[in-house]
Structures are given as structure tokens and as C-alpha cells.
């Protein structure tokens, strides 16, 4: 019985330390807390950026849902020409995570 408790505690420790929700693609990652604006990209520098659209995906305890695609962010405000894109990564203890894509354009 003691052996099962020890194994159970080791499994919990490994999951807590590594976290199953890591911000994939994030340039940096903290074990306790991550809030990083990742490398975005420029698409059409001639396009203005009078409109700003966002999309996001979230994960809680290893279950992820949402759509943080560039297409969804652009459609949310009717952007036809994309100037540039920013991506934000946030994670708390590997238990909760969120990725937000922000699209600037016209």
C-alpha cells in the first residue's frame, strides 16, 4: 500500500513540475508562470492596421479547446489585408494555458 502511495505522489510531482500545458512555440517558458508575447510576423507592410482582431485557445488540465488561428482573428473584425500578427502565450503552473493571436490589418 505504501508503495502505491509513493508512486502516486511521484506521478503528481512529475506532472506538477513538467506541466502538461506548455505554451508551444513560446520563446520562453517559466515553470510557475509564463506571459510572453511571441514572435509574430509581418504579412503585407503596405496594408494599414485600422482593424484589430483576436482569436484564442485555452487549455485546462491537459484538455485544450479553441481556435487561435490567424484566419479566425482576421474574420472576427472583417480584415481582408493583414499587416502583421502578434501571438501571446500564457501558462500558470502547467495547469491553465492560453494562446491569443492578434491580427492587425484593414
C-alpha cell at 29: 517558458
Which candidate, 67, 66, 68, 59, places its Cα nearest to that of 21? 59
Rounded Cα distance between 5 and 11, Å, is: 10
DSSP H or E run through 84: strand 82-92
pTM for this predicted structure: 0.75
Would you state the pLDDT for residue 49?
85
- pLDDT (0 to 100) of residue 72: 96
pLDDT tens string 55-80? 999 999 878 899 999 999 999 999 99
22-50 residue pLDDT tens: 555 666 667 788 888 877 788 888 888 89
Amino acid at each position: 500500500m505504501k508503495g502505491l502511495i509513493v508512486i502516486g505522489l511521484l506521478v503528481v510531482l512529475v506532472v506538477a513540475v513538467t506541466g502538461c500545458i506548455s505554451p508551444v512555440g513560446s520563446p520562453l517558458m517559466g515553470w510557475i508562470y509564463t506571459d510572453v508575447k511571441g514572435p509574430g510576423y509581418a504579412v503585407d507592410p503596405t496594408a494599414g492596421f485600422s482593424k484589430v482582431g483576436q482569436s484564442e485557445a485555452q487549455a485546462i488540465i491537459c484538455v485544450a479547446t479553441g481556435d487561435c488561428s490567424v484566419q479566425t482573428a482576421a474574420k472576427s473584425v472583417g480584415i481582408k489585408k493583414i499587416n502583421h500578427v502578434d501571438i501571446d502565450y500564457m501558462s500558470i503552473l502547467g495547469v491553465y494555458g492560453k494562446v491569443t493571436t492578434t491580427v492587425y490589418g484593414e
